[in-house]
Amino acid sequence: MKSKHCYISVSSSMTLNRPLYFIYKGTQFKFCPSEDKKYSDSLICRMGELNHPEVYRKVCELFASISYAHKVKAHVGGGITNEVAMDIPLSEFKGGAYERRSVAITESYETFYSLALVRNDHQSNLVRLYRKARLADDAYFSSLFYWHALVYPYKKEQKAVKFINDNLGKVREDDVKRLTDEALFLKSGKVLDVGEYIRKGLRHSIAHIKRENEDYSDLNLDDYDEIRHINTARSILEELVRIRAEKDFGLEVGNDLNIFSPFDP
């Protein structure tokens, strides 16, 4: 019986030097590193009963888990190409889906074993938000997605404000001091509530640009000092997201053969 296979282009700042065969949550994959590093790597997937949206969502979760575990940027191409049905082993499939590499390689290995061990939908959505935030070079976009990861799965932002204030002592003290000393979005220049400043100052200024609240400044796009200020906040937010993922969602980094298992073809 012929099996369906498909190809997906992938890029990460962490890559492998050789092909890797593995099973992720019941689905077989072959990772194919690009010989020309100007281009992306490729995944070949043995689809089984999965359709294209299901395959794509699983691959995005996999690369979000890698991004979270190794603190790397990870990009998944915008679609699935070249579905084929052939009765041959996965090891005999050649070629793949390639595009211009969007993420520069900073480290490479022969293989890897650890990733975020996603066991439920909340953990899955949290690592997806983390991947988007980590991938973005743009400070505005990245900060918003880290903020969303602190609010999720709730609608009320006050829960994120409380979490920030309750856990500030666990993040880099120098970053917190720099953020509160500068307080570029607060006209009074005096921060009494760090969580509320991040919500009303940074988050709302980025989201709305022009402010109705007279206590806070409008966003001045591409202002050098503001970009540095937002990057400081981004570092704080990333640390807090990782603390929350472990503390509130029980997310672990490691290896579980029921989730991820390399195999010999």
Buried b (16+ CB within 10 A) or exposed e, 128-150: bbbbbbbbbeebbebbbbbbbbb
Residue 183, number of CB atoms within 10 A of its CB: 17
Work out the pLDDT band at 95, boundaries 50, 70, 90: low
**What value does the mean pLDDT of the chain take?**
92
**Environment class of residue 15 by beta-carbon count within 10 Å: exposed (0-12), middle (13-18) or buried (19+)?**
buried
Q: Which residues on adjacent β-strands are paired with residue 262?
A: 22
Average pLDDT over residues 172-181: 94
Spatial contact of 185 and 258, defined as CB atoms under 8 Å apart = no
Q: What tens digit of pLDDT does each residue of 114-143 get?
A: 999 999 999 999 999 999 999 999 999 999
Nearest of 134, 151, 142, 225 to residue 195 by alpha carbon: 151
Residue 52, number of CB atoms within 10 A of its CB: 13
